[in-house]
Amino acid sequence: MLTVKFFTFSPFSENTYVLHDETNECVIIDAGCYTSQEQAILKDYISDKKLKPMMLLCTHAHIDHITGNRFVFDTYGLKPMLHKNDMFALEAQERVCEMYQINYDPSPMPDKFLSDGDELIFGNTKLKVLFVPGHSPGHVAFYSKENHLIVNGDVLFKGTVGRTDLPGSNYNDLEKSIKTKLYTLPDETTVYSGHGPVTNIGYEKTHNMFITAD
């Protein structure tokens, strides 16, 4: 049984996820912990549950989703895993932090990239990597068929979709990703997003004001 725990961190109100199962192995997705207090919250949860972090996964490399990467690396020795098409964003983190006037704690560089269709295994859990560009050119989502859930970052939100006015973003790609990769999942699939509340595929296909199912 997969447990999904999320924390809303940083001035960007970003959702950081910890997924773990009965083996106590876990993955951290989109480490956005920004302050020492937020870092402590994440660390205390992992410690209290006696979890063993196995992977640091990134849906994409926008700054609000990677501000905790250095902390996770320093604490658990995990380098971020992301799609190679988002390296431009990871490499621009210092400039972006200066633009937003936020503290800069550089993320380590990955030594492994994610590709569409990859299968990630921790404990008794399998996550399938779905390549879903649009909000960013290297955006991916993590899908568990057995647990009827997907962590999809900033692609699909409750009632809306990710921004496409950022460097490297493209609305047509986003629409294609949602219609061909997300809306083809079972309606009961729970959608955990990078910001905001939980939703599900069936609800979004019917009610999303930006992209409805064909």
Name the residue ranges covered by the structural domains of the chain: 3-207
The token duo for 5 is 């725990």
Contact 74, 45 (CB under 8 A): no
Span 139-165, mean pLDDT?
98
Lowest-confidence range among 41-50, 100-109, 113-122? 100-109
pLDDT category at 150 given cuts 50, 70, 90 is very high
* Strand ordering across the sheet containing 80-83: 3-9, 14-20, 25-29, 52-57, 80-83, 113-114
pLDDT band at 100 (very low <50, low <70, confident <90, very high): confident
3-state secondary structure 116-129: CCCEEEECCEEEEE
pTM score above 0.85: yes
Q: Is the pLDDT of residue 175 over 80?
A: yes
In this prediction, residues 126-134 reach a mean pLDDT of 98
Distance CA 132, CA 154 (A): 10
Asked if residue 135 lies in contact with residue 162, where contact means CB atoms within 8 angstroms, the answer is: yes
Query: For position 195, what pLDDT does the model report?
Result: 98
pLDDT band at 214 (very low <50, low <70, confident <90, very high): confident
Whole-angstrom distance, CA of residue 55 vs CA of residue 188: 27
* Yes or no: domain 3-207 corresponds to CATH 3.60.15.10: yes
